[in-house]
Amino acid sequence: MFNNAPWAPLVATGITIVLILVIAFLLRNLAHRLITRVVNRAASGGSITSRFRKGAPPDGIDVLLHERRKQRAETMGSVLKYIASIVILGTAVLTVLDRLTIPIAPVLTSVGILGVAIGFGAQELVKDFIAGLFMLLEDQYGVGDVIDAGAAVGTVEAVTLRVTRLRDADGRVWYVRNGTITRVGNESQGWSRAYVDVPVSYDADVVTVKVLLEHVAEEMWADPELRESKMVEPPQVYGVEQLSNSALVFRVTVKTLPAAQADVARELRLRVKAAMDAAGVAMVAIA
């Protein structure tokens, strides 16, 4: 009886459209959940240093690597969710149009032509997005890193697929398009190194000076606050690094956590100056 009713095809079409949309949203939610699960697994994976340390408690580098991995995974997860939504919902819309007997070939042709036109008119935008995508995949830099992006040098405050926002030492904010960045120097990735050159006169005893510097290095490494929050390895005294016209130059280096090299170098200079004054060893200017 219902098959012969004039409104039966409309009801059947309506039910089909509703089913298509319901299935599309279910698939979208399923895809988002799967992406979220993958992102959480990627963000919580063990770091390289922890695997090599075999059960040792995570140090500063482990924590920083975890945060960077989490940030990168979340960013890529949002991009994947956006792409999944477009593909699934776009396919559902085309299926609904086909069910409504609306020719989709002209629509696809129009979309293709429009896409080509937009592509030619927005080549720089596409270039920025592709560069931003690979930058995130390769973890070239992240929020909080100090980088040299060519156009500007500063601390990264925000990273998107299109632009990177930097703040330089003067407080000036720079917006750099990702497609214009041809090389990046990252001062905050993995670890950094602080070094201090100590110039003393030619009359100073080389062995005495080296022993003093080694004692300063041991004291710094024994300081729990510095060792746990800023330094990665004990300071190294390399001995005479340079011979100038007026001084012997000793060099002390310290492997530090990312972006902590300046603070460690300042502390090292203060301790070296105090040790030299206490031992009566004069420091001279390099001519």
Q: What is the pLDDT of residue 121?
A: 63
Taking residues 49-78, report their average pLDDT: 59
Q: What is the pLDDT of residue 50?
A: 44
Please give the helix or strand (H or E) that residue 69 lies within, else none: helix 60-99
Beta strands in the chain, from DSSP E residues, in sequence order:
146-148, 153-159, 163-167, 173-177, 185-186, 192-200, 236-243, 248-256
Please give the helix or strand (H or E) that residue 125 lies within, else none: helix 123-138
* DSSP code of residue 156: E
SS3 200: strand
101-142 pLDDT, tens digit per residue, is 777 777 667 667 666 666 666 678 878 888 888 887 787 887
Question: What would you report as the CA-atom Rg of the chain, rounded to the nearest whole angstrom?
Answer: 30
- More confident site: 81 or 45: 81
- More confident site: 74 or 51: 74
Give CA–CA dist 159/135, Å, rounded: 10
Give CA–CA dist 267/142, Å, rounded: 27
Amino acid at position 138, single letter: E
Q: What is the pLDDT of residue 269?
A: 92
Q: What is the pLDDT of residue 59?
A: 52
The pair of structure tokens assigned to 18 is 């509703």
User: Is-contact 175 163, C-beta < 8 A?
Assistant: yes
Q: Give the neighbor-by-neighbor strand order of the sheet with 248-256.
A: 192-200, 248-256, 236-243
Angle at 197 between CA 243 and CA 263, to 5 degrees: 170
Handedness of CA 12, 13, 17, 23 (dihedral sign): positive
Give CA–CA dist 170/164, Å, rounded: 18
Contacts of 14 (CB under 8 A, 6+ apart): none
- More confident site: 68 or 226: 226
Q: What is the pLDDT of residue 252?
A: 92
Give CA–CA dist 95/132, Å, rounded: 33
Residue 49: band (very low, low, confident or very high) from pLDDT cuts 50, 70, 90: very low
Q: CA dist 217 to 165, 206, 279, 281, Å?
A: 38, 17, 16, 17
User: Is-contact 231 255, C-beta < 8 A?
Assistant: yes
> How many C-beta atoms lie closer than 10 Å to residue 26's C-beta?
11
Asked whether the predicted pLDDT for residue 146 surpasses 80, the reply is yes
Q: CA dist 236 to 192, 201, 267, Å?
A: 14, 21, 15
150-190 pLDDT, tens digit per residue, is 888 898 888 877 888 999 888 899 999 988 888 888 887 77
Taking residues 68-75, report their average pLDDT: 71
Give CA–CA dist 55/267, Å, rounded: 32
Q: What is the pLDDT of residue 53?
A: 42
Q: What is the pLDDT of residue 142?
A: 78
190-208 pLDDT, tens digit per residue, is 788 888 999 998 888 888 9
Lowest mean pLDDT among 44-53, 55-64, 261-270: 44-53
217-274 pLDDT, tens digit per residue, is 999 999 888 888 888 888 999 888 888 778 889 999 999 888 788 889 999 999 999 9
Q: What is the pLDDT of residue 126?
A: 79
Calculate helix-pair angle for 261-279, 206-222, nearest 10 degrees.
Answer: 130
Averaged pLDDT score across all residues of the chain: 81
* Domain annotation for the chain: domains and CATH numbers: 2-121 (1.10.287), 138-186 (2.30.30.60), 192-279 (3.30.70.100)
Contacts of 127 (CB under 8 A, 6+ apart): 179
Q: What is the pLDDT of residue 47?
A: 46
Asked whether the predicted pLDDT for residue 56 surpasses 70, the reply is no
